């Protein structure tokens, strides 16, 4: 199933089912008003949602007005972002002479979750001097996860899979990292591709808690990278278990993979500017690629057999008014 949220003038929007071709929608009114309600009651309402999805494939539904699409989950109880691609961390450490992080645990921080930007909306930010960057990653939405859930039991809590652009302000990040308290100013609101999909809808692209699809990134219409999601050191089951070790996770928790990054970066490119700058620093002694300026556009697609299952993130960076 593909699910989306239509703008109805409320903060959480209205839940709708989306056809496999991404062209038609049927509102889920009477089953669940919002995606948050759906994940809270998933076991009870999933059969009704799937029946609605079947009706879509039989030709029902109305054409989608993409301008009316909000983020699939416009706001969440919790946003926990991992850093599960080891190549990304290794490049950053080597380029900037950072000490290795001595841990065998997944890396994770808790970020801003009161809003997620639609994948087509302009992204307002305060200053080009802040080092505006994107980070392409995959994510999942969970139902309620009990405290202490082990990794072996965690994947059953994954209800939906997402494509995420985790915006970052690189000039601010080092300052906040030195405090030891984590990010606030360096991590503005993330963007979500328009469709959240059930793991079964990904078919053989959902393997061992990982999205086995390349994530293509285009900047101002030019190719930037297409690293593959299979190289996660920790799958989403590991990330969920890590997050739930000392707390229960509420239904509607979003967990991110961190920047998608591959060992073959010379061939497949990167999914953030900071990583490309790290590669340039290693090769040439100094980074050359600039961070984003106002007016620049960022496009992201997860490339499946039948197109992009999550739809497209295609946004322009603008000055905040």
Together in a domain, 91 and 32 = no
Position 95 pLDDT exceeds 70: no
Together in a domain, 44 and 158 = no
Q: Which pLDDT belongs to residue 256? A: 98
**How many residues in total does the chain contain?**
321
Together in a domain, 111 and 134 = yes
Together in a domain, 202 and 281 = yes
| The domain boundary residue, chosen from 70, 95, 117 | 70
Give dist(CA 125, CA 317) in Å, integer. 7
Together in a domain, 50 and 106 = no
CATH number for the domain harbouring residue 137: 3.90.850.10
Contacts of 142 (CB under 8 A, 6+ apart): 39, 157, 158, 159, 240, 249, 251, 252, 253, 255
Together in a domain, 62 and 118 = no
Give dist(CA 153, CA 24) in Å, integer. 35
pTM of the model: 0.95
Which element (helix H / strand E) includes 95?
A: helix 86-95
Position 188 pLDDT exceeds 80: yes
Each residue of 248-259: pLDDT tens digit? 999 999 999 999
Position 196 pLDDT exceeds 90: yes
* Tokens 């993409």 found at: 66
What 8-state DSSP symbol labels residue 145?
A: B
Residues paired with residue 207 on neighbouring β-strands, in sequence order: 210
DSSP 41-53: THHHHHHHHHHHH
Position 301 pLDDT exceeds 90: yes
φ/ψ (deg, to 5) at 140: -130, 155
Three-state SS at 57: helix
| The domain boundary residue, chosen from 51, 70, 89 | 70
| Average pLDDT for 215-237 | 97
Together in a domain, 36 and 131 = no
* Domain around 184: 73-319
Position 263 pLDDT exceeds 80: yes
Give dist(CA 252, CA 86) in Å, integer. 27
Cβ neighbours of 268 (radius 10 Å): 18
Each residue of 49-80: pLDDT tens digit? 999 999 999 999 999 999 999 999 999 999 99
| The domain boundary residue, chosen from 46, 70, 94 | 70
What 8-state DSSP symbol labels residue 256?
A: E
Position 179 pLDDT exceeds 80: yes
Together in a domain, 303 and 279 = yes
Domain total in the chain: 2
Together in a domain, 61 and 84 = no
**Is the separation of the CB atoms in 211 and 14 below 8 Å?**
no
Helices (H) and strands (E) in the chain, counts: 7, 21
- Structure tokens that stand for 270 in this block: 């990167």
Together in a domain, 82 and 66 = no
Give dist(CA 145, CA 163) in Å, integer. 21
Together in a domain, 6 and 133 = no
Together in a domain, 207 and 312 = yes
């Amino acid at each position: 199933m593909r699910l989306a949220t239509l703008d109805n003038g409320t903060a959480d929007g209205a839940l709708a089912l989306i056809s496999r071709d991404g062209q038609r929608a049927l509102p889920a009114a009477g089953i669940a008003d919002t995606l948050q309600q759906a994940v809270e009651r998933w076991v009870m309402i999933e059969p009704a949602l799937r029946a609605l999805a079947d009706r879509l494939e039989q030709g029902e539904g109305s054409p989608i007005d993409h301008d009316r699409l909000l983020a699939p989950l416009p706001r969440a109880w919790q946003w926990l972002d991992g850093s599960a691609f080891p190549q990304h961390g290794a490049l950053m450490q080597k380029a900037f002479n950072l000490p290795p992080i001595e841990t065998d645990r997944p890396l994770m921080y808790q970020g801003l979750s009161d809003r997620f930007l639609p994948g087509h909306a302009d992204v307002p930010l305060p200053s080009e001097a802040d080092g505006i960057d994107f980070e392409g990653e995959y994510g999942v939405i969970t139902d309620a996860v009990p405290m202490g859930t082990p990794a072996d039991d965690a994947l059953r809590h994954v209800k939906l899979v997402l494509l995420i652009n985790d915006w970052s302000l690189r000039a601010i990040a080092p300052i906040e990292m030195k405090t030891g308290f984590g990010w606030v100013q360096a991590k503005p609101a993330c963007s979500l591709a328009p469709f959240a999909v059930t793991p079964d809808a990904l078919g053989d692209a959902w393997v061992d808690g990982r999205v086995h699809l390349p994530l293509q990134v285009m900047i101002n219409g030019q190719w930037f990278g297409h690293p593959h999601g299979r190289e996660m050191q920790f799958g989403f089951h590991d990330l969920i278990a890590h997050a739930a070790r000392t707390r229960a996770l509420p239904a509607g928790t979003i967990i991110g993979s961190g920047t998608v990054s591959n060992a073959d970066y010379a061939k497949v490119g990167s999914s953030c500017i900071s990583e490309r700058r790290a590669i340039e620093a290693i090769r040439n002694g100094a980074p050359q690629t600039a961070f984003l300026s106002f007016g620049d556009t960022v496009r992201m697609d997860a490339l499946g057999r039948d197109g992009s299952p999550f739809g497209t993130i295609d946004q322009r960076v603008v000055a905040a008014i």
